[in-house]
Amino acid sequence: MAQFRRKSRNLSEIGLTPGHMKALMTLEPGEALPMGACAQEMGCDASTATWLIDRLEERGLVQRRPSTTDRRVKGVVLTDAGSATKASLQEHYFHPPDALLELSLEELETLFSLLSKLVEAADKADRQPARQA
């Protein structure tokens, strides 16, 4: 949690929230993604996605462009500044913590195995119907 708070504080220092970061991470340089697809990729409703994209557009990180096949659809594309910001965020946020880098290969394999078991158990629990009280 301390690392999450530290990284979130760094994010807020550049005027972004975790939601903004999630929106940036759904976009690929040079590829327009329809607004509906943005919302789906972010796992939020259309109004939340619109709000996030509006804030990113105000900062010059994304642009909305009309679709070439359907004028009712707007595609969201990273600007050059947005691509640079995304790359910087990826470098900063996806770099493993030093404590993880200090683990041996054997320790990493054990950790991977244990985390895989947790993911499998969570997936299994998600597939089971809810119990009635």
pTM: 0.71
Mean pLDDT, to the nearest integer, of 108-121?
95
Torsion (CA) 66, 69, 71, 74 in degrees, nearest 10: -40
Q: Which two tokens stand for residue 85?
A: 């910001």
Model confidence pLDDT, tens digit, residues 26-44: 999 999 999 999 999 999 9
Range 47-54 average pLDDT: 95
What are residue 15's phi and psi, to 5 degrees?
80, 25
Q: Residue 85 CB: number of other CB atoms within 10 A?
A: 22
Helix (H, G, I), strand (E, B) or coil at 93: helix
Q: Number of H helices and number of E strands within the chain?
A: 7, 3
Query: For residue 131, what pLDDT band results from cuts at 50, 70 and 90?
Result: low
SS3 assignment, position 78: strand
**Residue extents of the structural domains in the chain:** 2-98
- Position 2 pLDDT exceeds 80: no
Q: How many CA atoms lie within 13 A of 33 on its CB side?
A: 21
DSSP 72-128: T-EEEEE-HHHHHHHHHHHHHHSSPPHHHHTS-HHHHHHHHHHHHHHHHHHHHHHHS
Q: Quick one: pLDDT at residue 97?
A: 81
Per-residue pLDDT tens digits for 63-103? 999 888 888 888 999 999 999 999 988 888 777 888 899 99
Domain 2-98 listed as CATH 3.10.20.740:
no
**Which pair of tokens denotes residue 53?**
């994209």
- What is the residue whose two structure tokens read 């990113």? 56
